[in-house]
Structure 1
Amino acid sequence: MFSSRLSAFAPARFRAGRSLAALAVAVTLLSACASGPTADPTADWSPNRLHAEAMAERDRGNFERAITLFERLEGRAAGTILAQQAQLEKAFAHYRAGEQAQAIATLDRFMRLHPASPALDYALYLKGLVNFQDNLGFLGALASVDLSERDQRAARQSFEAFRELVDRFPESRYTPDAQLRLAHIVNSLAQAEVNVARFYLSRGAYVAAINRAQVALTDFQGVPAAEEALFIKYRAYQALGMNDLAADARRVLTLNFPQSAFLGLGQAPERAASWWRFW
């Protein structure tokens, strides 16, 4: 109380001195903040050091820190091969961090900016891999998730990337693995059509069941799902009273799958463990 009164009646010169002192302290604090945490500690790093530090952070699993460093490297080494490498490494770090959308966006930007890059085959492979893993899901391998029962958009995008890689870069070191994954994706897409056909069959929508089963047979030839697709056609034609077409579907099923469990049953056999588990 007394101190507040004293300040109210203090000489103007004294109050002015206090104001100047407070202003000086504020300026000092602002200067300290500017040189503190907000300053870029990598400002004097060379591009090579930035790259080495970013890779070290990535290898330690510090993906967010690695991404930040790769972004700084991309800007600092703009127009060089090292900047291209930073973009690809950033995409990989996003992928490892579970950030599929960011990884795809980074790869699309890379391919748009560098259509003649010698690393274009790797960019396509990584794009296919990101979507492939997105289709599988983080815990898919542990939770017995059937890929054919998931949203197929990621599978189709993965297929397109791998197919472009195989078509454009047949000698690439990434092509053999891409071909294996392509076969896997084709099986998944075909089985997805069969899943829909089976659903229609169970609901008595026989024409719709026939149409979806035919898509699996026409668009994805030579896949395991063809066995059930033929059986669905046989049962649907039979239900519609179209006996000639039913007999023809059964004949093709017998010819292509002579040991099929469908042949001895009036209905689909119990589904075993996920058909795609050939890894």
Structure 2
Amino acid sequence: MRHSLTLIVLLMLTACSIFTPKNEKPTSALADSAEGVYAQAMEQMNSANYPGAIKLFETLQSRYPYGRYAQQAQIETAYAYYKQNEPESALSAVERFIKQYPNSQHVDYAYYLKGLVNFDEDLGLFGEGFQPDMSERNPKAPREAFDAFKDLVTRFPNSKYAADSKLRMQYLVNALARHETQVARYYLRRGANVAAVNRANGVLIEFPQAPATREALQIMVQAYDAMGLKDLRDDSQRVLDKNLAKDGTKPAVNPLPWWKFWKS
């Protein structure tokens, strides 16, 4: 895990500088060129002045719409919006980059950034004191994050971002499964037993390897029992018992929220 976290930190720290040109010339000598505007923008990025960087990157794209600096400025704009906590603007910039430069050598990073934006949306992932449970949140963002990471690892299996993307996909699957079990549990508490069964069964079908499947089976047992469907209750109980016997040392519900992995 420590190795994985080191990889994640390195990726995050280097993300904003992957396009920095080699042998960069002094900014003052390049003020009226694409390279000069880009250098000025990167100075703002490195100083965490993201609004200033965004303004300069957008100026560059307007004045010099063609060439490698325009391409670099577009994806850097997306990253700056991400750091500025403006996910919608970040996603728009990423989508434009992917559409406009599908063959760029950095398009894998664009998919990775798309995943990160959705993964971190309104989450405050590295913030202190804010401890959300994604199972209680709208699953739209984590689903889109999963899809972006999946696109990356499918299209670019050798990308330096693939390993981290796979880790995030694993935890997103667990979070999405947990969300569905929470919804099923809500229906069960309200006496909507058919809806509870349908939602819990969906977890078994869509996320068969997730730890939350055991809780989903427990919900099905309770719901079938409440409806007086003893055969279905007993069938679900047998499957649950088999799972518990197979993973006897593991708890039925993961006590550590998935997002805490990234703070360990």
Task: State the distance in 1 between where 2:170 and 2:125 align.
Answer: 21
* Shift in Å, 1:118: 1.5
Name the residue aligned to 1:150: 137
* Shift in Å, 1:276: 4.5
Residues 217 and 237, structure 2, Cα contact 8 Å, conserved in 1:
yes
Name the residue aligned to 1:227: 214
Q: 1:49 to 1:43 in 2, by over 3 A?
A: closer
Name the residue aligned to 1:97: 84
* Shift in Å, 1:147: 0.8
Q: Percent identity?
A: 44
The number of residue pairs the alignment matches comes to: 232
Residues 107 and 123, structure 1, Cα contact 8 Å, conserved in 2:
yes
Q: How does 1:132-211 map to 2 (within 5 A)?
A: 132-134=119-121, 136-137=123-124, 142-211=129-198
| Secondary structure in 2 matching 1:136 | coil
Which structure has the higher relative contact order (CA within 8 Å, separation 6+)?
A: 2
Q: 1:212 aligns with which of 199, 203, 210?
A: 199
Q: 1:120 to 1:223 in 2, by over 3 A?
A: same
Task: State the distance in 1 between where 2:128 and 2:241 align.
Answer: 33
- Aligned: 1:274 with 2:261: no
Q: 1:85 to 1:117 in 2, by over 3 A?
A: same
- Return the letter of the residue paired with 1:208: A
Name the residue aligned to 2:18: none
- Return the letter of the residue paired with 1:226: T
Gapped regions of structure 1 (runs ≥ 5): 1-40, 263-268
Question: For 1:163-215, what per-residue CA distance to the aligned partner results, in whole angstroms no more than 9, with x for missing partners?
Answer: 11111111111111111111111111111110110011111111110000011
Name the residue aligned to 1:46: 33
| Secondary structure in 2 matching 1:278 | helix
Structure number with larger C-alpha Rg: 1
* Shift in Å, 1:139: 7.2
* Shift in Å, 1:135: 5.5
- Return the letter of the residue paired with 1:278: F
* Shift in Å, 1:275: 4.9
Name the residue aligned to 2:94: 107
Residues 74 and 83, structure 1, Cα contact 8 Å, conserved in 2:
yes
Gapped regions of structure 2 (runs ≥ 5): 1-27
Name the residue aligned to 1:119: 106
- Return the letter of the residue paired with 1:197: A
